[in-house]
Amino acid sequence: MIEGLKPVLSALQSSLSIVKILIVPGREADWPQDLYAQTKLKNIPVQEVTIADIESISSLKNPEGLIAIADLPQSVWTPETELLFPALYLWKINDPGNLGTLLRTALWFGVRTVLISPESVDVYAPKVGRGAMGALFQLTVYPDVPWEALAARLARDNVQLIGSATHGIPAETVIYRDKWLLVCGSESHGLPEEILQQTETVIGIQKPGSGESLNVGVALGILLNIIQRQKGENL
């Protein structure tokens, strides 16, 4: 279930298989022509419903009156899967809003593949989709990816594995190769030591002020900005 105008438009413009669109009549002036053009182009049924119908299934307090119902993507990672780089591995992210923000941030900074560990929140939960603001449908996303198998495969392919932790070295000091994967941990516990030990480098963010920690989405944005800037300077 995909809620809201921007996520629905993004889903329509992707390869996602959309079963139907639920829409509240009388709000046509609120929707751009792209919405109707895409549904006609792809022969997607549009079903008119009441706002009460939408409210009965929506997780929003004030739904926009637009929901898309889609088939779940069948994205399964195996050790033989060819990945697009740069890539991101998310370890046990439990908050759906944070996961959505991470996806949105990753897309902004040019990440092409996001792999998510077991015991993370469902990447297709409605709150994740809203937080991602359409990024979920523009990235290649693999849920339930075991770290040990992934790390073994990427090591064989000479991919630069980069861990992240508060005690890591300044991200500005690292030389980043073309094929790299950044590993980010959960909001509460970060990355376990066994994962950090398997990465080539562990980077962190310098703290000129005070405070216990950064939100994981904010931290990812800072790190990706540094990495992309460093890559540009090292060309």
Say if 200 falls within a structural domain: yes
Distance between CA 121 and CA 226 in Å, rounded? 27
Q: What percent of the chain has pLDDT over 90?
A: 60
What residues make up the domain containing 133? 87-233
- Above 80 in pLDDT, residue 137? yes
Sorting pLDDT into bands at 50, 70 and 90, what band is 234?
low
The reply to whether 190 and 155 lie within a common domain is yes
Locus of tokens 């991200």:
171
Say if 16 falls within a structural domain: yes
The reply to whether 101 and 188 lie within a common domain is yes
Q: What percent of the chain has pLDDT over 70?
A: 97
pLDDT for res 196: 95
User: Could you report how far apart the first and last alpha carbons of the chain are, in Å?
Assistant: 43
The reply to whether 97 and 181 lie within a common domain is yes
Q: What pTM does this model have?
A: 0.88
DSSP bridge pairs for 152: none
Distance between CA 166 and CA 161 in Å, rounded? 17
DSSP bridge pairs for 113: 87, 140
Please report how the helices 216-233 and 96-108 are oriented relative to each other, as an axis angle in degrees rounded to 10. 20
pLDDT for res 160: 96
130: enclosing H helix or E strand: helix 126-132
- Name which residue leads in pLDDT, 35 or 111: 111
How do residues 75-102 score in pLDDT, each as one tens digit? 899 999 999 999 999 999 999 999 999 9
Return the CATH number at 104: 3.40.1280.10
Distance between CA 116 and CA 190 in Å, rounded? 14
How do residues 174-193 score in pLDDT, each as one tens digit? 999 999 999 999 877 789 99
pLDDT for res 28: 65
Say if 79 falls within a structural domain: no
pLDDT for res 219: 93
pLDDT for res 175: 92
**3 state DSSP class of 48:** strand
Q: What is the overall mean pLDDT for the chain?
A: 90
- Name which residue leads in pLDDT, 89 or 138: 89
The reply to whether 129 and 195 lie within a common domain is yes
- Above 90 in pLDDT, residue 121? yes
What total of structural domains would you count in the chain?
2
- Above 50 in pLDDT, residue 235? no
The reply to whether 34 and 138 lie within a common domain is no
pLDDT for res 97: 92
- Name which residue leads in pLDDT, 28 or 195: 195
The alpha carbon torsion through 177, 180, 186, 188 (nearest 10 deg) reads: -10
pLDDT for res 109: 95
The reply to whether 152 and 43 lie within a common domain is no
Say if 80 falls within a structural domain: no
Say if 77 falls within a structural domain: no
User: Once rounded to an integer, what is the mean pLDDT over residues 31-48?
Assistant: 85
The reply to whether 111 and 19 lie within a common domain is no
Q: How many CB atoms lie within 10 A of CB 25?
A: 11
How do residues 6-18 score in pLDDT, each as one tens digit? 888 888 888 889 9
